[in-house]
Amino acid sequence: MKIKVTSPGRVNLIGEHTDYNGGYVLPCALDLTIDLFFEKKSNKSYVNTDLGYSMSFDVNTAFKKSDNHWENYVLGAINELKQIKSELSNFSCSIKSILPSGAGISSSSALVCGLIKGLSKLNEINLNNYEIINLSRNVEHKYIGVLGGIMDQFTIMNAKRNMAILLN
């Protein structure tokens, strides 16, 4: 089974930093995206990116946070899914992005949402958008150290073409 997930970036038009302080925001998705290509593997997992990062591991081995910061997005997504289904399939994931990292347009949230969506499909874990949003926020809080709200994840999972989202 091969799965492709496309995850967009996000820009906020009104209300920066008010989503986690109880205020309104007006975000919309961008046409800059991260594409993630998943496939089941039998004995090891492999993740590689078009930025030259790669990692390999057994998905069912316990692991801690990595010293390589970007790996924690992958490990966090896996650990959060293991809270729902303890045994996951090893996989390969190739990540291709036209969404610049570090530009303030939610590349990390797009990556995590895409990872959780793709891995849940690959492992036949039936998650709705709200569940993916919460798992993704957990990854950012626990594994990355970003204590934000859900604006990024909500926009990435629910945005429609040429539409903004009024979120409180």
Residues carrying an active site annotation: 152
48 close to 54: Cβ distance less than 8 angstroms? yes
Separation CA 168–CA 42 (nearest Å): 44
Phi and psi (nearest 5°) for 149?
Answer: -90, -145
Q: What would the two tokens of residue 69 be?
A: 């910061």
Residues in the chain: 168
> What's the Cα-to-Cα distance from 165 to each of 125, 148, 156, 158, rounded to whole Å?
27, 18, 11, 9
Residue whose entry in the numeric block shows the structure tokens 């990540």: 95
Query: What span, in angstroms and rounded, lies between the C-alpha atoms of 44 and 35?
Result: 21
